[in-house]
Amino acid sequence: MKTGFIAAAVVAATAFAAPAFAWEGRVVACYDKTYVGPEYKITKKLIRAAEYKWEHAKSGQVVKVYYPAVYEQIKTQTSNGYYLEVPAACR
């Protein structure tokens, strides 16, 4: 009975100590994880063309006014974001 406990204690001690002895390697390279965002393709759609208009001012003058073009921006995702491992100094 006593030898059974001693044998169990020896087996348990070696089982818990085994992971400590398993690491015998050395560090070869280190990397930092960097996030690269998704890429988009942006196009524009003409809503209203540019134009000049003649308008009457409050002072009684006729004034030529420029109205710029109006566009709608259309954003389409072309690729998803991903993580990139960049070589770094080991700490």
DSSP-derived secondary structure for 60-73: S-EEEEEE--EEEE
Query: What is the pTM (predicted TM-score) of this model?
Result: 0.49
pLDDT digits (tens, 9 = 90+) for 25-74: 888 899 999 999 999 999 999 999 999 999 999 999 999 999 999 999 99
Widest CA span of the chain, in angstroms? 117
Listed in sequence order, the residues at least 6 apart from 33 whose beta carbon sits closer than 8 Å to its beta carbon are 83, 84, 85, 86
**What are the helix (H) ranges across the chain?**
2-22
Angle at 39 between CA 34 and CA 43, to 5 degrees: 160
